[in-house]
């Protein structure tokens, strides 16, 4: 989550957000404030720790959320080419 210019992981108490499950999913409430940016990533974006995704999230330059996702994907793809 991006809050006040700081990117930090959001600790989930509930079940994982994505993927198959054989049980009923639980929910969790998050306290979001105006200006907060919550980004949900799959493990494929963070497993290899190849890109500085917090920097991309921190510097959206007024981009629409769709464009932030494109910027993150581009950063990961670029880093994987090294």
14-69: pLDDT as tens digits: 666 566 666 677 778 888 999 888 887 777 777 666 677 788 777 766 778 788 88
- Can you give the pLDDT at residue 35? 83
pLDDT at 33: 92
Residue 69 sits in which domain range? 2-80
Q: Would you say 7 and 54 are in contact if contact means Cβ atoms under 8 Å apart?
A: yes
pLDDT average, residue stretch 8-17: 74
Question: How many domains are contained in the chain?
Answer: 1
**CA distance linking residue 31 with residue 39, whole number of Å:** 14
Identify the residue whose tokens are 């809050």. 3
pTM over 0.85: no
């Amino acid at each position: 989550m991006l809050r006040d210019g700081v990117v930090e992981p959001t600790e989930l108490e509930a079940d994982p957000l994505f993927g198959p499950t054989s049980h009923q999913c639980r929910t969790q409430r998050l306290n979001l404030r105006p200006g907060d940016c919550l980004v949900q990533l799959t493990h494929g974006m963070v497993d290899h720790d190849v890109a500085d995704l917090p920097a991309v999230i921190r510097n959206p330059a007024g981009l629409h959320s769709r464009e932030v996702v494109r910027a993150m994907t581009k950063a990961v793809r670029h880093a994987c080419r090294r």
